[in-house]
Amino acid sequence: MAAMIEVDGLCKRFGAIQAVDDVSFTVARGEVLGFLGPNGAGKSTAMRIITGFLEPDSGTVRLEGVDIRDRPIAARQNLGYMPEGAPSYHEMTPLGFLGFIAGIRGFSGSEAEDRIATAAQQTQLGSVLYQSIDTLSRGFKRRVGLAQALLHDPEILVLDEPTDGLDPNQKHEVRTLIQEMAANKAIIISTHILEEVDAVCSRAIIIAHGRIVADGTPDELKSRSGRHMGVALTATRETCRQLVADLNALNGVAEVELEPRGLFVKPVPGSDILDLVRVLVRQRGLSVADIRLEMGRLEDVFREVTIPGGTAHGGTGDRP
């Protein structure tokens, strides 16, 4: 199926800063793409370009085949966008603000009322609909921004840090809402919370200094961690000392590292060493509290690809 969002060769410079540097990707229906990256990486700038709020220096964006610069109104009709910080009109109430947005979107009468009711219900705004927005907590302000983006039930959603400022329960609610909507939409969310990527994204792009430095499913990204398929042993220093040479001699073992609570056995890429390690420990009759396989953590990969010269746990430094 054709991609719903097609981004090709986006570049944007602010003075000396190359905020977005040759960014290309596509998003299909049913996908939730996570934009991951440190502060200042260029996530919000890319989102502002994708949604037509900022002109790129070069590159193209097509939403359902429609070029955002050639036909901005048509392209935005099926797009919901929550900008960074979820700006809205603070002197309005959520009800007034959503009514205003409904009017802009071309809804009136009972259709407008139904849409406002649905968006308010999805984002759980019911208790604050008549209170002025400037008196709301950050979490509620964020949900007003989300309701505004969902009001016309768009098929494309671009949400800039949708869970920023929410408490853990509210974060969970918003993630659940995104998951529920995902099947029929193409969604991009930005975040610097790695667990969010695992929780809601089918794919993630890691951005650093405006460039895409990694692109894959959360599992694919984790597999690039220096910890991936490694075996961690919890044991006393003395036991570790007795095991190191034999572990090093095992087929498929690349390296054995001493860690605060034991050892970390790093495999040669592609090797599955867990059973070999287990057998060795049993044969030697040593007391090892725990032997476990590690799948790698997004956090390690994130650090490896976003910090210049940075390696996570002495990772392989395997960069794109």
Ligand X SMILES: Nc1ncnc2c1ncn2[C@@H]1O[C@H](COP(=O)(O)OP(=O)(O)O)[C@@H](O)[C@H]1O
37 touching ligand X, by CB under 6 A:
yes
The gap between the terminal CA atoms of the chain, to the nearest Å, is 27
Taking the C-alpha atoms of residue 43 and residue 242, their distance in angstroms, rounded to an integer, is 49
CB 215 within 8 A of CB 25: yes
The residue (of 43 and 143) whose beta carbon lies closer to ligand X is: 43
The residue (of 17 and 289) whose beta carbon lies closer to ligand X is: 17
CB 233 within 8 A of CB 290: yes
51 touching Mg ion, by CB under 5 A:
no
Quick one: tokens of 219?
């599992």
87 touching ligand X, by CB under 6 A:
no
17 touching ligand X, by CB under 6 A:
yes
83 touching ligand X, by CB under 6 A:
no
CB of 41 to ligand X, least distance (A): 4
43 touching ligand X, by CB under 6 A:
yes
Residue 160's DSSP bridge partners are: 190
Taking the C-alpha atoms of residue 138 and residue 217, their distance in angstroms, rounded to an integer, is 31
40 touching ligand X, by CB under 6 A:
yes
The residue (of 40 and 103) whose beta carbon lies closer to ligand X is: 40
What would the x/- binding string for Mg ion be over residues 75 to 94, using CB under 5 A? ---------x----------
Name the DSSP class of 37: -
Taking the C-alpha atoms of residue 216 and residue 212, their distance in angstroms, rounded to an integer, is 11
Query: Which residues would be at the binding site for Mg ion (CB under 5 A)?
Result: 43-44, 84
Query: Which residues would be at the binding site for ligand X (CB under 6 A)?
Result: 14, 17, 19, 37, 39-45
